[in-house]
Structure 1
Amino acid sequence: MTNELGPLAERLREFARARDWEQFHTPKNLAMALAGEAGELLAEFQWLTPEESADLDPETLARVRSELADVTQYLVRLADVLGVDLVAAAYAKLDEGEKRYDADLYRGSARKAPPLNP
């Protein structure tokens, strides 16, 4: 991984290697762990109103920060194991979104755009 997340990916790789956890860090296992951590993040917001979710108390914010870190670590580790440049993939997806969702046509709208023609 040669992008801005490279140092984090390397540190996570070394963390796993030092503990002989690479054997467990298969794409399937990492994707499942990522989904589990995303669920834990979601649980922090489950019963909040939209207003409460936008103004978290310090204790809740600390838990959310921790869950965001877990999600990020598993996502970066999964991308590293698969050899995916996560930052490049995100920019490519954003480029696609800019083509699909013209700002003038979709401003303020939640409607879904039709798929791009290949």
Structure 2
Amino acid sequence: MTIEHLQKLVADFATQRDWERFHTPKNLVMALTGEVGELSELFQWLTSEESSAICEDAARRERVADEVADVFIYLLRLVDVLGIDLEAAVEAKLRKNEERYPAAVVKGRAVKYTELRRP
């Protein structure tokens, strides 16, 4: 299944419910933020070990999967409404990040690119 196909499924879902008028960029970003909050809530207060093992429990795995799907659905809808080619945007951003975070400099380090000392 492609990104384009998923975007069409999401757009068709909205069209069938006459929701396009509500799907402004602002509203979609607000909805996306809410869904990320719901995903975050599932991990709130867990230890690192507990968060890594969350999907070992079938019920918790399903809740995580549902929230991840909600986040992705709103993101797909947002880029569709804005006319952003998600695949191209991801590839372009990865190229920028390759320049900002050269593997030889950052390997094993969690630092922001603005804090890196380059040779």
Structures share fold, TM-score greater than 0.5: yes
Residue 66 of structure 1 is matched in structure 2 by 66
Q: Report the TM-score when normalising by structure 1.
A: 0.91
Corresponding residue for residue 113 of structure 1: 113
> CA–CA distance in 2 between the matches of 1:61 and 1:84?
31
**Corresponding residue for residue 39 of structure 1:** 37
Deviations 1:52-99 (A, max 9, x none): 111112211110000000000000000000000111111111111111
Aligned residues: 112
SS at match of 1:23: helix
Structure 1 unmatched ranges of 5 or more: none
Structure that is richer in helix per residue: 2
Unmatched runs of 5 consecutive residues or more in structure 2: none
Q: Percent identity of the aligned residues?
A: 53
The answer to whether 1:54 aligns with 2:63 is no
Which structure is richer in relative contact order (CA contacts within 8 A, separation 6 or more)?
1
RMSD: 1.2
**Cα separation, 2, equivalents of 1:84 and 1:16:** 18
Inter-partner Cα distance in structure 2 for 1:93 and 1:68: 21
Q: Which residue does the alignment assign to 2:90? A: 90
